[in-house]
Amino acid sequence: MKQRMPSFIKLLMFDLDDTLWPCKPAIIAAENTLYAWMQQRVPEITQRHDNEALFEKRRDFMRQRPDLVHDMSKLRIESLKVLSDEIGLDYDWIDEAFDVFFHARQRVELYEDVAPTLEILSADYRLAAVTNGNADIALTGVDQWFEFAVSAADVGHQKPHPLVFQTAMSKAGVAPAETVHIGDDEQRDIFGAVEVGVRTIWINRSDRDWNHTECEADHHIRSLSELPEILRKMQYNATSE
C-alpha cells in the first residue's frame, strides 16, 4: 500500500457539477427521461405543458421559493406538487417521478482528466465532495476516490456560505490551512472558500476570463491533470517558508 505524502495539505475539497463532469447534458437528459415517464403516468400534465414549459415553470417556482434553493431535491418535489395542484391530481405519482429524475440525473460523463487525476490524488490526500446540487458520489461512480460528500441540502445553505466548507473541514478534522478547494465557479467555489481561509484552485475548462473583483484563486488550471504538480509546488513552498 502506497504511503501518503507528508503534507500540510491534508484535504482536497472538490466541487462536482462542471468540475468533474458537464452538468447541463446530464440535467437535460434527466428532464427528458422524466417527461417521457410523465407522458405515460400523468398525461394530464404533459398534455398541457411541453418539456420547455415545465422547465420555465420550475424556474419561476425557484424564484418564488428562495428558502428551498439549497435543497434541489426538495425544490423539485415541491414543484411537482404545484403541477398536481394546478389540475387537481393526487400526489401519489410524485415520489416515483422524483426517483425517475434523480437516478437519471446521476448518469454523468466524467471529463477525461477526472479518473486518472483522482486516482493519483487519492493516494496522497483525503478527498471530499462539496456540492450545491443533488449528485450522489456513489450513484455517479466517483465514491471510489472520495471519503465523503457534503451537500448544500445537508448544511441548509448553498455555497458560498461558509458553513458548507466548514462542515466538510469539521467532518475531516482539518484546519483551513490544511485544505485546498477546487471548483469552477468564481463566486460559489473560490470566493466561498477564500472567505474561510482555504487555498483555492479554479478549474477553467472553457478559457473564461477571471471576473471576480473581491477575490483571486491561488491557481488557475484548464485541466485537472495539472493538479498533482501544482499541489507538489504548494507543498514545497509551504515547507520552504
Residue 240: predicted pLDDT: 57
Reported pTM:
0.92
* 3-state SS, residue 69: coil
Q: What is the CATH number of the domain that holds 134?
A: 3.40.50.1000
Identify whether residues 140 and 40 lie together within a single domain: no
Residue 239: predicted pLDDT: 60
Identify whether residues 115 and 226 lie together within a single domain: yes
Identify whether residues 129 and 229 lie together within a single domain: yes
- Could you tell me what percentage of the chain is helix, strand and coil, using 3-state DSSP and rounding each to the nearest 5? 50, 10, 40
Last residue of a domain, one of 105, 125, 158: 105
Identify whether residues 100 and 219 lie together within a single domain: no
Tell me whether residue 198 is in a domain. Answer: yes
- Complete DSSP assignment for 111-143: -TTHHHHHHHHTTTSEEEEEESS---TTTTT-T
CB atoms within 10 A of CB 113: 18
Q: Rounded to the nearest 10 degrees, how much is the dihedral formed by the CA atoms of 231, 15, 136, 164?
A: 110
Residue reference for cell 455555497: 159
Tell me whether residue 80 is in a domain. Answer: yes
Residue 47: predicted pLDDT: 96
* Domain residue limits at 188: 11-21+111-240
Angle, CA 207 vertex, CA 205 and CA 211 arms, to 5°: 110
Q: Which of 160, 154, 156, 157 is nearest to 135 (CA)?
A: 154
Q: What is the CATH number of the domain that holds 97?
A: 1.20.120.1600
Indicate the number of domains in the chain: 2
Strands 179-183 and 11-14: parallel
Identify whether residues 90 and 117 lie together within a single domain: no
Tell me whether residue 4 is in a domain. Answer: no
The C-alpha cell at 22 is 458537464
User: What is the C-alpha R_g of the chain?
Assistant: 20
How far, in Å, CA of 87 to CA of 52, rounded?
19
Q: Which of 137, 121, 139 is nearest to 129 (CA)?
A: 137
Those residues of the chain that have pLDDT short of 50 are 1-6
